[in-house]
Amino acid sequence: MSPRCPMSLLLTALLTLLLCGPANAIEVLAAEVPPYVIRAHQGAPTGMAVEVLEEAARRLDEPLQIEVLPFARALSQAQHRKDVLLLPPAWSEERAPHFLWIAPLLEESFVLLTDRGLRPERITLAEARRRGDKIGVLRNSLAHTLLSETDGVTLELASEEERNAQKLALGRISVWAAAWNTARYNQLSAKLPESRLLRGETLKHTSLYLAAHPDFPAAQADRWRATLESMHRDGTVRRILAQYDYQAP
């Protein structure tokens, strides 16, 4: 046998491990919406929802393989794959039948926002409709769903919320509809002062969840649910969220 064979086998095994991840790892489709899921330039993803899930996985002794995807793609893939977890969709009546809602991670408010320097009054949806405002939303987000059938407004879709922050500051959109903590984080990521954001009408108060396909194994879902509930009770979730300057609704 050639002396190179053992080395070749070792390299093949290492490559397989790198490509496939840890044995029996739970695959997580994480929708890239900072500050809940933050794609790192190098290394593992971060974010408040990611850290909550990682702590739950540690308690369950479950290895995770987290794949960060654009928001719309993560939702689409999770609807067709029965063996993955989805992080962190917002619950709504429209989405409810399409997923198994395992456990809430945090509370959030989806709101209308304007730039204080360009429009100093607090905006309402009725006023935005009356003025025919152009409203920036993240594609396939809850804000997109809530406003998609609203007459009198024009929606401008973006693939990431930081683009909406930039467009609002430049006057390319009149109103930005987003989750409050998402808007705050992306305003700062765009190197814009948070003080320029003027919060208007609340469109919906809801929860962001750990979710999965409706046919995800029930026994696994129960384990994750019980662990996350215990983390809420013992204050672990609250401590993790505080590290990201989370503001509860």
Determine, yes or no, domain membership for 7.
no
Full domain range(s) for residue 185:
109-205
Same-domain status, 239 and 196: no
Give the Cα separation of 49 and 34 in Å (integer).
9
Looking at residue 149, which CATH number applies to its domain?
3.40.190.10
Query: Which of 55, 107, 100, 50 minimizes the C-alpha distance to 78?
Result: 100
Residue tagged 């992080």 (tokens): 87
Number of domains forming the structure of the chain: 2
Same-domain status, 224 and 210: yes
pLDDT digit string (tens) for 105-122?
999 999 999 999 999 999
Same-domain status, 103 and 219: yes
Determine, yes or no, domain membership for 8.
no
Same-domain status, 181 and 233: no
At 111, give phi and psi (nearest 5°).
-135, 165
Same-domain status, 43 and 153: no
Same-domain status, 103 and 121: no
Residue 20 has pLDDT above 50, yes or no: no
Quote the pLDDT of residue 151: 86
Q: What is the pTM of this model?
A: 0.85
Give the Cα separation of 67 and 119 in Å (integer).
39
Q: Which are the contacts of 239, defined by CB distance < 8 A and separation ≥ 6?
A: none
Mean pLDDT, residues 150-174: 95
Can you give the chain as a three-state secondary structure string?
A: CCCHHHHHHHHHHHHHHHHHCCCCCEEEEEECCCCCCECCCCCCCECHHHHHHHHHHHHHCCCEEEEEECHHHHHHHHCCCCCEEEECCECCCCCHHHCEEEEEEEEEEEEEEEECCCCCCCCCHHHHHHHCCEEEEECCCHHHHHHCCCCCCEEEEECCHHHHHHHHHHCCCCEEEEEHHHHHHHHHHCCCCHHHEEEEEEEEEEEEEEEECCCCCHHHHHHHHHHHHHHHHCCHHHHHHHCCCCCCC
Quote the pLDDT of residue 53: 98
Determine, yes or no, domain membership for 69.
yes
pLDDT digit string (tens) for 22-48?
558 899 999 999 999 999 888 899 999
Quote the pLDDT of residue 6: 54
Residue 204 has pLDDT above 50, yes or no: yes
Percent of the chain predicted with pLDDT > 90: 86
Mean pLDDT, residues 200-220: 97
At 124, give phi and psi (nearest 5°).
-115, 160
Quote the pLDDT of residue 17: 45
Same-domain status, 210 and 103: yes
pLDDT digit string (tens) for 44-101?
999 999 999 999 999 999 999 999 999 999 999 999 999 999 999 999 999 999 999 9
Average pLDDT in the chain: 92
Residue 186 has pLDDT above 50, yes or no: yes
Quote the pLDDT of residue 153: 85
Quote the pLDDT of residue 23: 56
Query: CA distances (Å), 173 to each of 135, 158, 170, in order?
Result: 6, 11, 8
Determine, yes or no, domain membership for 198.
yes
Quote the pLDDT of residue 214: 97
Report angle CA 189, 240, 213 to the nearest 5 degrees.
Answer: 85
Determine, yes or no, domain membership for 84.
yes
Quote the pLDDT of residue 1: 47
Residue 140 has pLDDT above 60, yes or no: yes
